[in-house]
Amino acid sequence: MTVMPGKPSLRTELLFNLAFLASAALLLGVGSLLAVQALAPDLTPGQAVLLILVVVALDVGTFIVFGGYLVARHVLRPVSRLMAVADAVAAGDLAARAPDAETRDFAVLAERLNRMTDHLLDAQGQLVRSEKLASVGRLAAGVAHEIGNPLGALGTYVEVLRRRGADPEVMVGLSRELERIDRIVRSLLEYARPHEEALQPVALGVVLRASFELLQAQGAFRRARPALDAPAELPPILGRAHELQQGLVNLLLNAVDAAPDGVIVLGARRWGYEPGRAPARRANDPSGAFFTRPQDRRPSRVEYGAGHPGVLVFVADSGPGVPPPDRDKIFDPFYTTKEPGRGTGLGLAIVARSVYEMGGVVWVDQAREGGAAFKIFLPADLEV
């Protein structure tokens, strides 16, 4: 939530309204005295006292009613709304958010409460993700170990059958499926393997160009229209260059599968992390353009919040994109939107784990080209 700079403070609002109320009460009292003096010749002493008491009672009643309205409007109602949101968060509803307020003080308090809730949600998400990574990693390591030995034996038997003159077409099919199983096992090991290598300063522009030129030299883009959109000067980050390059190659190959004849963009920008929306970042964007994002929260980390300096890396394509219901699940192990036999569902999980271990976050949006835009935020190395 953004606090509007033109909102009055609670102190100013109360002082202004109370001053207005006091002035009105004073004018009412003076007017009542003048009225009593004007009517005094026609009134008995008892009637004059009674009239003064009635006017005073009306004056006090007006002060109480209007004062109570001011206190309820500017203090009690905002406090009750904040208490309701705090109770909801304490009960486990981390989607609850405090509404905006009329005064600057309560608007700031609501913003701080929402920020605290966001941090709790981020911490919970990181804890769940860490436990998921650990459990899936142990499972993957065990499965890979158990499958690896029979897989090696099957490869030996296939070679024996080939030498004994078995049907070549059958042997080709067996070899192809064994290679597929071998790739799955290697992906499991890659996902489960702990990375003990220390993070080092990485020149991100060099990694982006190397990834792009590698696939371009191999002819991987084929009929696609690739583009590299990365400035020469990017802040250094802490990471592992080979893992980052492997992840970018994986995302680019996915983009080729999604848009074999379309547009594929690999780029990066100096960026302050913004949980809600991102300004124009392409070289061909019109000046002043602002591209908003739906209200769902992009992933974050408790280590940094809005405005944290870093680099935004994106791989965008003009393919069919990723449906919103799949965007939170697409980085889970073994989850894939590809046709059966074309993907294992481990590539994006490995990318997400590598990015997470480098201190970053990864998510997917809709690209301006119409397809998917995989975005990676990596915090800058502030010690440089």
- Check whether 203 has a pLDDT greater than 50: yes
**By the 8 A CB rule, do 258 and 343 touch?**
no
Q: In what order do the strands lie in the sheet with 309-317?
A: 225-229, 263-272, 309-317, 372-379, 361-366
User: What percent of the chain has a predicted confidence (pLDDT) above 70?
Assistant: 77
pLDDT, residue 300, reads 66
Q: State pLDDT tens for residues 341-378.
A: 565 667 788 888 888 888 888 888 888 888 889 999 99
Q: Which helix (H) or strand (E) holds 314?
A: strand 309-317
pLDDT, residue 248, reads 93
Query: Checking DSSP bridges between strand 263-272 and strand 225-229, what pairing results, if any?
Result: parallel
Question: 């993700």: which residue's tokens?
Answer: 129
DSSP secondary-structure letter at 304? B
Q: In the structure, what pLDDT confidence band is assigned to residue 3 with cuts at 50, 70 and 90?
A: very low
pLDDT, residue 288, reads 46
Structure tokens at 276: 């809600």
**By the 8 A CB rule, do 268 and 204 touch?**
yes
- Check whether 173 has a pLDDT greater than 70: yes
Which of 299, 322, 300, 301 lies closest to 373 in space, CA to CA?
322
Nearest 5°: the CA angle 266, 226, 265 is 25
- Check whether 125 has a pLDDT greater than 50: yes
**By the 8 A CB rule, do 123 and 27 touch?**
no
Query: Checking DSSP bridges between strand 225-229 and strand 278-279, what pairing results, if any?
Result: unpaired
Question: 């109370």: which residue's tokens?
Answer: 18
Q: State pLDDT tens for residues 288-337.
A: 444 444 434 566 666 776 678 889 999 999 988 888 888 878 887 777 76
Q: In the structure, what pLDDT confidence band is assigned to residue 38 with cuts at 50, 70 and 90?
A: confident
Residues sharing a CB contact under 8 Å with residue 166, sequence separation 6 or more, in sequence order: none
Q: Highest mean pLDDT: which of 36-45, 119-128, 252-261?
A: 252-261
Residue 201 phi, psi (nearest 5):
-60, 135
Q: What is the mean pLDDT of residues 161-173?
A: 82
- Sign of dihedral through CA atoms 165, 168, 174, 180? positive
Q: Which helix (H) or strand (E) holds 267?
A: strand 263-272
| CA distances (Å), origin 373, targets 33, 99, 255, 318 | 75, 31, 9, 9
pLDDT, residue 298, reads 63
Q: State pLDDT tens for residues 71-101.
A: 888 788 888 888 888 888 888 777 788 888 7
**By the 8 A CB rule, do 188 and 144 touch?**
yes
Cα 73 to its chain centre, rounded Å, is 34
Structure tokens at 369: 């080209």
pLDDT, residue 196, reads 66
What is the three-class DSSP state of 50? Answer: helix
pLDDT, residue 264, reads 93
pLDDT, residue 209, reads 92
Q: What is the mean pLDDT of residues 259-284?
A: 74
Of the CA atoms within 13 Å of residue 345, those in its CB half-sphere come to 13
Q: Which residues of 129-146 are buried (b: 16+ CB within 10 A; e: fewer)?
A: beeebeebbeebbeebee
Question: 């502030």: which residue's tokens?
Answer: 382
pLDDT, residue 279, reads 44
Structure tokens at 51: 């009239």
Structure tokens at 59: 């004056």
Residue 307, sorted as left (phi over 0), alpha (psi -120 to 50) or beta, turns out to be left
What is the three-class DSSP state of 275? Answer: coil
Q: State pLDDT tens for residues 206-230.
A: 999 999 998 988 888 888 899 998 8
Q: Between 77-90 and 104-163, two packed helices, what is the crossing angle to 10 degrees?
A: 20
Residue with the bigger pLDDT between 61 and 138: it is 61
Of the CA atoms within 13 Å of residue 80, those in its CB half-sphere come to 7
Q: What is the mean pLDDT of residues 126-141?
A: 68
Mean per-residue pLDDT of the chain: 78
Calpha distance 276→251 (Å, rounded): 23
Q: Which domains does the chain have, with CATH numbers?
A: 10-118 (no CATH), 198-379 (3.30.565.10)
Residue with the bigger pLDDT between 12 and 255: it is 255
Calpha distance 378→29 (Å, rounded): 68
Q: What is the mean pLDDT of residues 40-66?
A: 75
